[in-house]
Amino acid sequence: MSSEKPAYPVDPKTLYLPPKEAAEVGKTYAEQYQSGKPFHYIGIDDFLPLEITEKVYQEALATDQEPPEHSSAQEHLKASYNPDILPDYTRLVFNALNSQSFIRFLEEMTGITGLIPDPYFKGGGIHRTNNGGYLGIHADFNQHKQMNLERRLNVLIYLNPDWKAEYGGSFEVWTDDMKERIASYAPIMNRMCCFSTSSTSMHGNPEPVNHPDGKPRISIALYYYTATWTDSHVAHSTLFRPRPGTQDQRTTKQDRIRVMRKYTPPVLHAFGEKVMYKLRLL
């Protein structure tokens, strides 16, 4: 067991931290988070009481349901478990991370008010990437269609004991022009990474998982939204970009957006993307 005091000291049994206390914890990370560039992000070690992440990890390994794996040029050997099919304790942990207390923590840390959790866990849940798997550098889908909300935050909590950077699967932050990797976080047990999402927040885990014992990379993934979606927004799916000097694949949609933005003034960008969307070019 780790002797470190958890950054977010929720009670392991009740999974409760009073909202005021959670907000105070968030304030302590506000400057670090909001100074992140090229977009706001943070990595926090020893995030939860270790017994929480250890129990969720064991329940994830013991789950006998096999969700469909996603495999493509950009996303390989990755599977997601919706919390609804997971054991009781893991479901309670997800509920706690969608609670008022955790929302208060996130709002104080990020400076984003009016955050809304996702009861559908669209794209979220327990993520598992098997050996050889990876997720290319990308910007995420930006609209929750069922609730018509704008995606604003990702929270990732890693569940991998004794993981080393050379085992692959590190979470990477890149500049929008893909000229520089800004940060890299190995997916070690109880490390939390949070970042603000936009059409230019480029991130991923592009280096294939290569655990010497064949163990998968496992994480908790949750997304948060605000009721700020307007007609000027253009919905898009995941947009992939290649890293320099690699065989990574990009999305044709993103190529089209970049060309349109290059040859039109900024005031027309939103209108141009809306027209491209209606013409099914995006």
Domain ranges of the chain: 19-249, 251-282
* CA 95/CA 260 separation, integer angstroms: 42
pLDDT along the chain (282 residues), means of 10: 81 98 98 97 98 97 72 83 94 98 98 98 95 94 95 98 98 96 98 96 97 96 96 82 86 63 74 68 52
* CA 137/CA 73 separation, integer angstroms: 12
- pLDDT score at 237: 83
Instruction: Check: CB of residue 53 under 8 Å from CB of residue 45.
Output: no
> CATH number of 19-249: 2.60.120.620, 3.90.1150.10, 3.40.50.1970, 1.10.3720.10?
2.60.120.620
- pLDDT score at 226: 98
State both tokens at 251.
């999305």
* CA 104/CA 113 separation, integer angstroms: 9
- pLDDT score at 278: 65
User: What residues pair up with 44 in beta bridges, in sequence order?
Assistant: 192
- pLDDT score at 47: 98
Instruction: Check: CB of residue 89 under 8 Å from CB of residue 57.
Output: no
- pLDDT score at 280: 54
Instruction: Check: CB of residue 68 under 8 Å from CB of residue 130.
Output: no
